[in-house]
Amino acid sequence: MNRFLSNATNRIDAKGRVSVPAAFRSVLAERNIQELYCFQDFVFPAISVGGLDLLDRFERQIAADDPFSPAANQMSLLIHGGGVFVKLDAEGRLMITDFIRDFTGISGDVTFVGRADHFQLWRPEAFLALQAQAREERRLAGRRSE
Amino acid sequence: MNRFLSNATNRIDAKGRVSVPAAFRSVLAERNIQELYCFQDFVFPAISVGGLDLLDRFERQIAADDPFSPAANQMSLLIHGGGVFVKLDAEGRLMITDFIRDFTGISGDVTFVGRADHFQLWRPEAFLALQAQAREERRLAGRRSE
DNA sequence: CTTCATCCCATTGACGCCCATATGGTCCCA
DNA sequence: TGGGACCATATGGGCGTCAATGGGATGAAG
């Protein structure tokens, strides 16, 4: 499996660490990602995590515009100023910093959610609520087309 | 890592000094930057800090424009007339001068914000507010890309 | 003489690195 | 088919190192 799929919830220990699910770690290994790029998602109260390719994609987007434009400046503020590099410890855990806690509301447990080329960190209750909402919206949309 | 990324907030001590985050210092070392060039950001109430290459980049930008345009003139006034050289002490700290305080509103704490090829000094509250605003604007403008 | 910047050293608290234990699942063999 | 050995993952915690910070001492400048 070369993509991030499914979700899992793990517990944060007393030192603020949490194990990345083994399935995700093996995807990271397969893609040769040892340094993780994390940033605050633009839409959801979640942290998105991926490799440097993620950052590269954003930077290309900035470079495509005028790099001195206010829009580019603003984008850089988000992806550079709002991004962090993280590396896993020997056991495949990462630190849940205040940077992550404040933005997501995470405190005791973390839900890891696969998103194909990256994965996300969610507060468990927030993920369940949003997933339920998405399911409901799809149900209504599907009914219209019957 | 070879570029400035993420953000961190440090405290100014009684002598007006503040530690540059270790991650940023290692980027400076990697790029062989020992003399820092500081100037006022064009868009935000923040001080931008980088090596001489930064100055080069802006000078090229000015040259690319019409050098006699109001924008180029203004830019030159800011980066040449408003720039300051700073060097770190043995522990990797820099002095927060009145030049920096007046423009940014910094008083007790400083937020260091990575911007790929340079980093910035922000008043913590101002950074949080403007970053949140940038995210909101992008969320409204960028619904299509999700 | 006073003020301020620079150099040097001390403290402490966080983080990285390492090893130990628990828990749940799988496979093999009786 | 049931039991048990084995393995991988998740989790807990000790300990050393380093970054962040505080403060004294020295030297230069007004």
pLDDT, tens digit (0-9, with 9 covering 90-100), for A80-128: 999 999 999 999 999 999 889 989 999 999 999 999 999 999 999 999 9
Which of B3, B120, B134 lies nearest to residue A78, judging by beta carbons?
A: B134
What is the C-alpha to C-alpha distance for residues A58 and A76, in angstroms, rounded to an integer? 9
Shortest distance between the Cα of A69 and any Cα of chain B, in A, equals: 10
Residue positions counted in chain B:
146
Name chain A contacts of B27, Cβ cutoff 8 Å.
Answer: none
Could B135 and A70 be called an inter-chain contact, meaning their C-beta atoms sit closer than 8 Å?
Answer: no
Nearest Cα residue to B24 out of B96, B101, B94: B94
**Residue B16, CB, strand C, below 7 Å:** yes
pLDDT, tens digit (0-9, with 9 covering 90-100), for B14-66: 999 999 999 999 999 999 988 899 999 888 999 999 998 888 888 888 787 77
What is the C-alpha to C-alpha distance for residues A67 and A46, in angstroms, rounded to an integer? 27
pLDDT over threshold 70, residue B103: yes
Residues 77-116 of A with CB under 7 A from strand C: 87, 89-91, 95, 97
> How far, CA to CA in Å, does A82 sit from each of A5, A6, B57, B133?
25, 26, 23, 13
Which of B1, B42, B131 lies nearest to residue A81, judging by beta carbons?
A: B131
pLDDT of residue B146: 45
Q: Positive or negative CA dihedral for B21, B50, A69, A118?
A: negative
Q: pTM of the prediction?
A: 0.89
DSSP string, A102-130: HHH---SEEEEEE-BS-EEEE-HHHHHHH
Six-digit token string for A22: 């083994």
From the CB of residue A120, how many other CB atoms can be counted at a distance below 10 Å? 22
Nearest-10 crossing angle of helices A52-64, A70-79: 170
Shortest distance between the Cα of B98 and any Cα of chain A, in A, equals: 24
